[in-house]
Structure 1
Amino acid sequence: MRLTVFLLTAAFVQVYATGRAQHITLTAKDMPLKQVFAEIKAQTGYLLFSNTEFLNKAKKVTVTARNMPLLAFLDIVFKDQPLEYSIQDNTISLSEKASPPKIDPPFERLIILPETFPLVIKVVDSLGKPLPGASISNKTDKVLGLTNAAGSFMHNVSEGDILLISFIGYETRIISVTPAIIKEGALIITLKAASNIMDEVAVVSTGYQNLPRERVTGSFSTIPKQYLDKPAINLASRLIGTMAGLSSTLDADGNPSFEVRGQTSLYANAQPLLVVDGFPVEGGFRNINPNDVESVTVLKDAAAASIWGARAANGVIVVTTKKASAGNSLKIELNSFVKLSPKTDLDYINPLASSAETIDYEKRAFNKWGSIQNNGNLQLDYAKAYSQGLTALNEQFLGHITAQERDNILSALSLNDNRDQIRNQILAAPITQQYNLTISSATARSNNFLSLLFTDNQSRFKETKDKNYMLNYRTSSKVFRFLDFRISGMAQYQEMNNSGLNIGDIKSLSPYDMLLDPNGNYTNVINSYYQPIIDKLVPVYKFPYADWSYNPIVEMNNRNITDKNLNLRLQAGLTAKLLKGLSYDAGFQFEYYNTDSRSHYREGSFYVRNLVNTTSTWN
């Protein structure tokens, strides 16, 4: 059981506006528009979505603003720009300004208002689903509106009006109002998903605060989004090979571990510090739902120590989880994947010489180069286990069998090959199934995100598998204009069955050690004792278990080794805007880890029979 309580309280003065306040403080001279929006996001949280082409043609900005409302600030920024902006929830979209209509000088004082007609416009996607919040503008009179929850919007139009219909992530449609459209009185617009990639102003999370890239000190790297979206059983698997400076190694069971700055001592742990939503966590990647991850940033140098102290000596991996998308009253997502893999290649994980080559080596090495001597003494040599080949050589050396008998045994062993039996009896084809359900909603004052994860994993060894159940809930609320409150929780339950064998068990076998005889019966595989001593000098019939044999398959089938983990994590915090430029932020984290490990060996296992026999005596 492990209990960790982490409390972080900080109060600080900021030069810029704090939190999500919709005011801007900025002094800029010839600043690129993209950098201006980086400041906007850092100070207000508003995102920019725009084509790169628009940002490239924008004029540089010179502006001085102190605690200026966002809308007033944007009006100044776009006053002389060839672009215009629109705001949908917390997203700012850009579009080109329409050229003003030319009016002949003799008639510039004569304005004739055209007759207008009501028109109901409904905006849907390619599947016919309504798109709430789609932007509709009329090039003629610049009236701008957003579709409601049903994707509908009503506007008075005239013949010849040009309507622009746009939605983030979709191609903009341009519609000319015709007499037929006016007569119908209703118009359904279908938008196609945009094929071009939209640029978002990049922001880096240090785990303590979010900053534009140009304001971040030290060495850092951000994992590209496409790597975070690939199917994987856990987040660690998604990070392998994604960036320079983040090296990974796999243990015998294929579980990855990472190093960012290498070893800091000979024996100390080299694992980097893991930070989730602003708090260091102890459970590692196994306590993170990989489908909930929004971004991953790796802090590589000593600058991380100024934030996280000595624990950052090995680097820091900062994980930011997803939140509900702005403007979604309710969103439900279900995704799953199934991964099938072939059985492990034995020649790769355990490359061995053939049985004949192994026996030839044992002949050459027998009684040479300091090899263990076994003189057949019950008290001194019973635990000096030999392979079957060395046992035959030693028995002939001691005079217990003839040279012909030895050669017959070695000749028969040289024809054996146990790889097929290992594949069929010990190894399994790995299968991973993962199902993830996400329910989220967001309003102007609150944000809720719930995820449920189930993973069923069959490893590459029979009787070795695990199941993982995880629940995550995150919510944030603007309690008052000056006070924000947030809370999140994680609950995880894991069931692991480790009754199967492992690579070490396979490597302990000689290539001629068969698990089954030609009749399909279990063989006696040399394990702990020198078998001729047991057969000749130990009256096994006087022991509780006369059968003192060992077979890996029998052992696997007669034991039940399980681990059950219950992991909990609770995070809470609040941000209070006390004065202009002064805020108070407090955070709290509670972690609970409990593991219940049980090993149950049945009577048929060698473990039980050997334990009982070795604690018995005979007359």
Structure 2
Amino acid sequence: AFSQGVSAKGELVLKGVAKGVEGKDVIVVLRTNKNGMSRGTEGGVFSKKIVSLPDTVFFSAAGYQTVFRVIKSPADLLRPMTIRLSEVSIQLEDFSVNTGYQRIKPNETNGSVSVLSESALNERQGTNILSRIIGQSSGLLLSTGKTNANPQNQTGITIRGLGTINGPLDPLIILDGYIYEGDINNINPNDVANVSILKDASAASIWGARAGNGVIVITTKKGRLNEKMQLSFSANLLLQDKPDLYSLSQMTSSDYAEAERKLFASGYFNDQITRTPYRALTPAVEVLLAVRSGKITAVEGERQLDVLKNTDGRKSYADNFYSVPLTQTYALNIKGGGQNYSYLLSGAYDRSKDANSALSDKVNLRLANDFKPLKGLTIGLNAYLTSSSLFSGKPTYGTIGSGTRSPVYQDYGDEGHLVSIDRIYRSVYTDTAGNGRLLDWKFYPTENYKHNIQKTSRNEIFGSTSIKYQLFDFLSAEAGFQYQKQQLNTSLNSDPESFEARNLINSFSQLNRTTGVVRYIVPLGGILRNSYTDSRSLTGRFQLNLNKLIGSHSFSAIAGTEMESKSIDDILANISKAPVAVRPLRQRRLPDRHHGRPGRVGQGGPGAARAHRVAAARPLLARAYGQPALRGPGPACWRRRASRAS
């Protein structure tokens, strides 16, 4: 049915037919090292022109194992080939749930759980693990902007909705069997092997009261015994669209101005105008007040209001403060193992610029080793290092306004057109306060962010070691120790040109109206606000694991004890960066010479510090006979807390 492997033009041609199970015709794809690729046709027939020899031809088809043939010379093409393909047999991995203390099968717990595999996590992109698990499990919701103001809410996610009004909403995070006290954004998603999500009350029976909002158990990757060294590298570049402010549902500029006109006519602003006449008013209210005071005519007032009604603040904001977000991620992974050891070394670097030009950098380094010096004995060593920094960018939409209001008609200026906004005080007040001898008191939105920069640095160490010995085929003993340390340093640098520094200096400056000399209670210069948090956690654990199969019945149990110690130190400092000196700003209540009321300088003093120490011990007791795991009292029953100020 086939001619020889030479065409009428003298070209070499590989011809043949591909067969599957029981002689079924299979459409195959041919790939070669030197001669490109081609696809077969109906009936399993394939034909491929060969230009360069020798070469290796690979035959592949969906659902079949790939086979290859080596063609050394034209003689190998004289006869048509018959390729027989075998079906692929896939062994499904045993499905198990990691509770942090043990791995159990789904039928051994009555709780609601979800398990996300590595392949599922890789289907989404992002520099942190939260961005990869959101939307992949029912009940796991992103609640940014919807949670309460509890400072313990750090992740912005909830499991099965809000469980409290004012209390913490974050689920408990478990990393490689231990409670993770750091920032979950520091965990490199490329290091994660799988994630188990415990959603209901069964989580509290395992981890105690802290698990009342659910538990997210993260298991990282490891090397395997007798595995050849594998090296993998990935690089990703993610570009996103600028935020579409026009998608926001909001009042038109005309409706907003008319609404303020009605409020003004009904006396809504009279109390502020009378009692605190220096407080900022929106541009429309300023125009209406000027008309009522007789400073401008009604015709001129309507003209100015028409200008505001025809101004759309969204365009001005998008042009001045938004840009295209860019994210770069790089990851390197080396793993392997021998007969008695396994290893994994990984590193990652992430750099991103968000829509408001805020810059972030993060570096992750991880080392995981397992050793088997004796039969039944396994020693594990793990270390995880993270260093990240975040620089503030431009202000987000809706955060700049006049006083407590952000009018939609606000004009923020454009290139070559610098606009000032009455941020805190009215311009009619700041233009005359101090007889013109004070610093410029105007707020320039397109310039101020350049002089008011916040830097947040995080450094973290997460290390653990474990020793596991198989006493009998059904009983093993395990001891582990874990150490965590997180350092958070936040600095807000308001240089002398920033509104924050100028406002603070002007507010407490004292003018001698006889001599015209200004006494600066707050020294001229910039303001540096520093906060430093150092937290440490130590956990020790001893555990016995029993897994016994008797006939058709399986018995499993764990028993042991765990001890935990935590400490947190906070330091808050305010520093005046005068041109000739750097000095601390002590917290003091001083008279505000311009408003006739006392004010406060500094927050917490030059070096206000506080320390918290927490120690806890708890027993572990769990049984599983196709039933949910049971535990002894949770951490809340055993915790003793002490605090001191220094």
Q: TM-score range by the shorter chain?
A: 0.5 to 0.7
The residue type equivalent to 1:331 in the other structure is Q
| Alignment equivalent of 2:262, drawn from 364, 376, 381 | 364
Q: Distance in 1 between matches of 2:367 and 2:339?
A: 19
- What is the match of residue 193 of structure 2? 294
> Contact 1:126–1:192 (CA<8 Å) still a contact in 2?
no
Report percent identity of matched pairs: 26
> Contact 1:525–1:549 (CA<8 Å) still a contact in 2?
yes
Distance 1:260 1:433, change over 3 A: same
Q: Distance in 1 between matches of 2:301 and 2:142?
A: 49
Q: TM-score, normalised by structure 1?
A: 0.65
The residue type equivalent to 2:203 in the other structure is A
The residue type equivalent to 2:426 in the other structure is Y
3-state SS in 2 of match to 1:366: helix
Q: Distance in 1 between matches of 2:236 and 2:186?
A: 19
Aligned ranges for residues 83-102 of structure 1 at < 5 Å? none
3-state SS in 2 of match to 1:337: strand
Q: Distance in 2 between matches of 1:307 and 1:369?
A: 59
Aligned ranges for residues 147-546 of structure 1 at < 5 Å? 171=65, 198-230=91-123, 231-251=125-145, 257-349=156-248, 351-368=249-266, 370-375=268-273, 380-462=275-357, 464-506=358-400, 509-516=406-413, 520-535=416-431, 537-543=432-438, 545=439
State the structure with bigger RCO (CA 8 A, min sep 6), 1 or 2: 1
- Cα drift, residue 385 of structure 1: 1.3
Q: Distance in 2 between matches of 1:505 and 1:263?
A: 27
For the pair 1:576 / 2:475, whether they are aligned, the reply is no
3-state SS in 1 of match to 2:156: strand
Q: Distance in 1 between matches of 2:434 and 2:303?
A: 28
Distance 1:252 1:616, change over 3 A: farther
Distance 1:392 1:472, change over 3 A: same
Q: Distance in 2 between matches of 1:241 and 1:440?
A: 30
- What is the match of residue 459 of structure 2? 566
Q: Distance in 1 between matches of 2:507 and 2:396?
A: 26
Distance 1:457 1:540, change over 3 A: farther
3-state SS in 1 of match to 2:281: coil
| Alignment equivalent of 1:587, drawn from 474, 480, 489 | 480
Q: Distance in 2 between matches of 1:256 and 1:277?
A: 19
3-state SS in 2 of match to 1:275: strand
Q: Distance in 2 between matches of 1:261 and 1:342?
A: 31
Q: Distance in 2 between matches of 1:300 and 1:221?
A: 8
- What is the match of residue 616 of structure 1? 509
Distance 1:337 1:506, change over 3 A: farther
- Cα drift, residue 256 of structure 1: 6.0
Distance 1:431 1:174, change over 3 A: closer
3-state SS in 1 of match to 2:467: strand
> Contact 2:278–2:429 (CA<8 Å) still a contact in 1?
no
Deviation string, structure 1 residues 42-73 (Cα, Å, up to 9, x no partner): xxxxxxxxxxxxxxxxxxxxxxxxxxxxxxxx
> Contact 1:382–1:534 (CA<8 Å) still a contact in 2?
no
For the pair 1:554 / 2:450, whether they are aligned, the reply is no
Deviation string, structure 1 residues 273-304 (Cα, Å, up to 9, x no partner): 11111111012421211011111111122222
Deviation string, structure 1 residues 364-402 (Cα, Å, up to 9, x no partner): 2214264443546xxx42442111110110122233333
Distance 1:586 1:359, change over 3 A: same
> Contact 1:295–1:320 (CA<8 Å) still a contact in 2?
yes
Q: Distance in 2 between matches of 1:341 and 1:229?
A: 19
Q: Which runs of structure 1 show a deviation greater than 4 angstroms over 4 or more consecutive aligned residues?
A: 125-128, 172-175, 190-198
Q: Counting helix residues as a fraction of each chain, which structure ranks higher?
A: 1
Deviation string, structure 1 residues 182-229 (Cα, Å, up to 9, x no partner): x9xxxxxx9999877652222222221122333344221212554211
- Cα drift, residue 611 of structure 1: 1.3
3-state SS in 1 of match to 2:285: helix
3-state SS in 2 of match to 1:481: coil
3-state SS in 1 of match to 2:476: strand
Deviation string, structure 1 residues 229-274 (Cα, Å, up to 9, x no partner): 1222211011111121222223499x96222244443221121111
- What is the match of residue 607 of structure 1? 500
Q: TM-score, normalised by structure 2?
A: 0.62
Q: Distance in 2 between matches of 1:252 and 1:437?
A: 37
- Cα drift, residue 540 of structure 1: 4.6
The residue type equivalent to 2:218 in the other structure is V
How many aligned residue pairs are there? 436
3-state SS in 2 of match to 1:548: coil
> Contact 1:430–1:458 (CA<8 Å) still a contact in 2?
yes
Q: Counting strand residues as a fraction of each chain, which structure ranks higher?
A: 2
Q: Distance in 1 between matches of 2:173 and 2:289?
A: 55
Deviation string, structure 1 residues 138-183 (Cα, Å, up to 9, x no partner): xxxxxxxxxxxxxxxxxxxxxxxxxxxx9xx9817599xxxx9xx9
Deviation string, structure 1 residues 542-567 (Cα, Å, up to 9, x no partner): 21x1x221121111111221011111
3-state SS in 2 of match to 1:311: helix
Q: Distance in 1 between matches of 2:318 and 2:490?
A: 28
The residue type equivalent to 2:179 in the other structure is P
> Contact 2:144–2:157 (CA<8 Å) still a contact in 1?
no
The residue type equivalent to 1:368 in the other structure is S
Q: Over aligned residue pairs, what C-alpha RMSD do you find?
A: 3.3
Q: Distance in 1 between matches of 2:503 and 2:322?
A: 26
Q: Distance in 1 between matches of 2:482 and 2:84?
A: 45
Q: Distance in 1 between matches of 2:362 and 2:87?
A: 37
3-state SS in 1 of match to 2:65: coil
Q: Distance in 1 between matches of 2:258 and 2:490?
A: 44
For the pair 1:596 / 2:489, whether they are aligned, the reply is yes
Q: Distance in 2 between matches of 1:490 and 1:170?
A: 41
Aligned ranges for residues 134-153 of structure 1 at < 5 Å? none
Q: Distance in 1 between matches of 2:87 and 2:316?
A: 55
Aligned ranges for residues 102-141 of structure 1 at < 5 Å? none
Q: Distance in 2 between matches of 1:372 and 1:193?
A: 86
Distance 1:522 1:277, change over 3 A: same
Distance 1:359 1:264, change over 3 A: closer
- What is the match of residue 45 of structure 1? none
